[in-house]
Structure 1
Amino acid sequence: MTSLRPEDVRIDQIVESSCTCFGVDEFFPGLDPAAVAGDMSATGPEGETAHLEYAFRSHLVRDGQRTILVDGCVGNGKHRMRPAFDDLATPWLDRLHATGVRPEDVDYVVITHLHADHVGWATTLVDGRWVPTFPNARYLLHRDELEYWYSDVGAAALLRTGDYLADSVTPLLDHGLVDRFDSEFTLGDAVRIIPMIGHTPGHTCVEVTAGDERLFLAGDAFHHPIQIRRPELGTRYCVDPAQAAESRRRILAYVSETGALLAPAHFVGTGTGRVHAVGDGYRFTPVTTAPAAPGRV
């Protein structure tokens, strides 16, 4: 757990787990594993298929007036087809408590998109039923995201993962806790919700502003640092690879021009860094420790 503490806004990373559970050839079909050999989070013994190391994290944002959780990782005790996600028992909830926040303290849950590793902690099992983990929160979801995953096309895609909508999203709808949006908006002065579609039809990013600093929570717009050097590189799991690449280019131009910290959901280490324009491309420089000076993210 890493805390970033500016003067009037606090951001905590809540890391659920990490794994080397995705092969390069699975995640980036046709990509030569040697292409990622020099990037962080590329692993694998010599002579074996290279695997990518990913972290799974949420971000907790407090602006003095509201408490906002961005994404909910995989969750505990949920049946998933991928072994690395199946029936987990992680201390994610204990790590939330360690920040001084209880589930009932959360005002908003922003779900960047409806993939299994972003919605799990939206619900927990109580007396045999999946119920909302954050009973006083409004769960914010892009309208197109809901419509897609509850369509026949979305349902077919669930076959490879297990039906995580049934245990992690439908209970939220049944309790009337979901607010839909379809365009950019703000929560107070510090938090901006920004649709950045492509990876999924309603994929969303979150920008947090504290003084002169910005932190751009990029969700799954980027999965691996190679996509910063090669923003055209999509994954097997992008619904619209061309649009996802355009969203990456927009983000890279923005964070490099503004100096915002970039924090994708799955980068390892601190998961956060600066993006610098280099020639006609970009370079990502991870922050090695989380800054904690007043007024800075």
Structure 2
Amino acid sequence: MTTTPSWTVGDITVHRIDETPLPPATGPWLLPGATPGLVAEQDWLHPHFADADGALRLDSHTFACIVGDLRVLVDTGIGNGKVRANPAWHDLRTDYLETLTAAGFPPESVDLVILTHLHADHVGWNTRNVDGAWVTTFPRARYLVSRTEREFWAAYDMDEAREQMFRDSVLPVEEAGLLDLVDVPAEGLTVTPGLRLLPTPGHTPGHVAVELADHGATAFITGDCVHHPVQFSHPAIGACVDIDPEASERTRRALLASLAGTDTLVLGTHFAPPTAGSVVTHDGTYRLSPVPAGPHSPTSPDGPSKGRIGN
């Protein structure tokens, strides 16, 4: 039986849909403040999230779950066959859709795609190439994005690489009438019972994170408000592509303070396996206490599986 790494949140099962590990050069480029010496000082990062020499481990994956009657995908990764300036993202050939289908979420079954923000490694599988044209991958889904996010990029002076990303991965969804812009207030936006969007600005102005809640259990999908667990110990470390670094740090500090000591399961969109954990205080800041995934039976397109993870 095919299984995917999964966690349970009440009766919601969250599946990690793997796309590709990111190369070692990603860490120094993306998080230049996370120097090898600084990373190596955090023993808890090894062996899961960093190598012994302080090299960061980062992944590209997305998350799929069923909330109520909705089959939900959070972010869509890098995508196949896309022209990208970043060589780690350029013209990929992964089995992402096969992995998604094996988890019980064939593309035609997805009802809702939540885009935490409009960066190339989060929107790529919005579309796929069919006979030379970029068409929506999830034809019956509504694609949700913050209105603030879309309007920011509409007014932004984009370079050719970003223009290309919009042409192949965002505009086709808009032209198909499937992109919904939503206003996300400070207290968050409930999309459906058990699923809430939370504003987490800084990386981009309209960035949102996703909260899942069921039967008293809660999970938080980060998007890019946190890229790597080293930022738990050093919240001031930002990404080189943060639009507003100061806002990004404020968001991270407030988020970590709100999660520390709770049972909320944090699921990192770029965290290497084990990907998830709880936030605990550590040496005056925080660390991620890993919660390993368990194998879970595929979720039937006709309804959620009744199996439970075994961890």
Under a length normalisation based on structure 2, what TM-score does the superposition of the two structures give?
Answer: 0.86
1:189-204 equivalence runs, <5 A = 189-204=193-208
Q: More deviation in 33-42 or 245-254?
A: 33-42
Q: 1:42 aligns with which of 35, 45, 50?
A: 50
C-alpha contact 1:211 1:295 (8 A) present in aligned 2:
no
**CA-CA distance at 1:214 after TM superposition:** 0.8
> Are 2:181 and 1:180 equivalent residues in the alignment?
yes
Bigger mean CA offset, 34-43 vs 84-93: 34-43
Distance in 1, Cα, partners of 2:237 & 2:191: 32
Q: 122, 126, 134: which is aligned to 2:126?
A: 122
Contact 1:139 1:179 in 2 (8 A): yes
Structure 1 partner of 2:301: none
- Counterpart residue number, 2:281: 277
More deviation, 177-186/197-206: 177-186
Equivalent of residue 79 in structure 2, options 66, 75, 78 = 75
Secondary structure of the 1:80 match is coil
Provide the residue aligned with 1:169 in structure 2: 170
Q: 51-60 or 85-94, which moves further after superposition?
A: 51-60
Residues in 2 aligned to 1:70 and 1:172: alpha-carbon distance in whole angstroms? 16
Q: Deviations over 1:131-160 (max 9, x none)?
A: 11111111001112112223233x13x54x
Give the deviation of 1:264 after TM superposition.
1.5
Aligned pairs for 1:96-111 (under 5 A) are: 96-111=100-115
SS at match of 1:176: coil
Q: Deviation above 4 Å: which 4+ runs of structure 1?
A: 291-297
Checking the alignment, whether the CA contact within 8 Å between 1:14 and 1:95 is kept in structure 2 is yes
Q: Matches of 2:100 and 2:308 in 1, distance apart?
A: 23
Change over 3 Å in CA distance of 1:212–1:290 after alignment to 2: farther
C-alpha displacement at 1:287, in angstroms? 1.5
Structure 1 residue identity aligned to 2:284: D
Asked if 2 retains the 8 angstrom alpha-carbon contact of 1:211 and 1:296, the reply is no
Secondary structure of 1:167's counterpart equals helix
Residue 33 of structure 1, CA deviation: 2.1
Q: Label 1:31 to 1:8 Cα distance change in 2 as closer, same or farther (>3 A).
A: closer
CA contact (8 A) 1:142 1:202 kept: yes
For residue 263 of structure 1, report the CA deviation from its aligned partner. Answer: 1.0
Partner of 2:30: 27
**CA distance 1:18–1:74, change in 2 (3 Å):** same
1:21 to partner: Cα distance:
4.1
By how many angstroms is 1:162 displaced?
6.7
User: Residue 212 of structure 1 aligns with which residue?
Assistant: 216
After TM superposition, the structure 1 stretch with the greater mean CA deviation from structure 2, 170-179 or 277-286, is 277-286
**Aligned partners of 1:210 and 1:295: how far apart in 2?**
16
Cα distance change, pair 231–176 in 1 and its aligned pair in 2 (3 A) = same
Q: 1:23 to 1:59 in 2, by over 3 A?
A: closer
Q: Distance in 2 between matches of 1:185 and 1:249?
A: 21
TM superposition shift of 1:127 = 1.4
The C-alpha deviation readout for 1:189-244, integer Å capped at 9, x for no partner, is 21111111101111110011121211100111111111000112111111011111
* 1:133 to 2:141 alignment: no
1:14 to 10, 14, 17: 17
SS of the aligned residue for 1:117 comes to helix
8 Å CA contact 2:34–2:230 kept in 1: the answer is: no
Judged with a 3 Å threshold, the aligned counterparts in structure 2 of structure 1 residues 19 and 10 are, in CA distance, closer, same or farther, namely: same
Gaps of 5+ in 1: none
What displacement does 1:187 show?
A: 2.5
* 1:265-297 Cα shifts (integer Å, max 9, x gaps): 001012101111235311211123439786999
Cα deviation, residue 171, structure 1 = 0.3
SS where residue 274 of structure 2 aligns? coil
Query: 1: CA distance between counterparts of 2:282 and 2:51?
Result: 26
Is residue 59 from structure 1 mapped to residue 63 from structure 2 by the alignment? yes
Over the aligned positions, Cα root-mean-square deviation in angstroms equals: 2.4
CA distance in 1, matches of 2:127, 2:63: 17
Sequence identity (%): 37
**Aligned residue for 1:149?**
153
Runs (5+) with no aligned partner, structure 2: 297-306
The number of equivalent residue pairs is 290
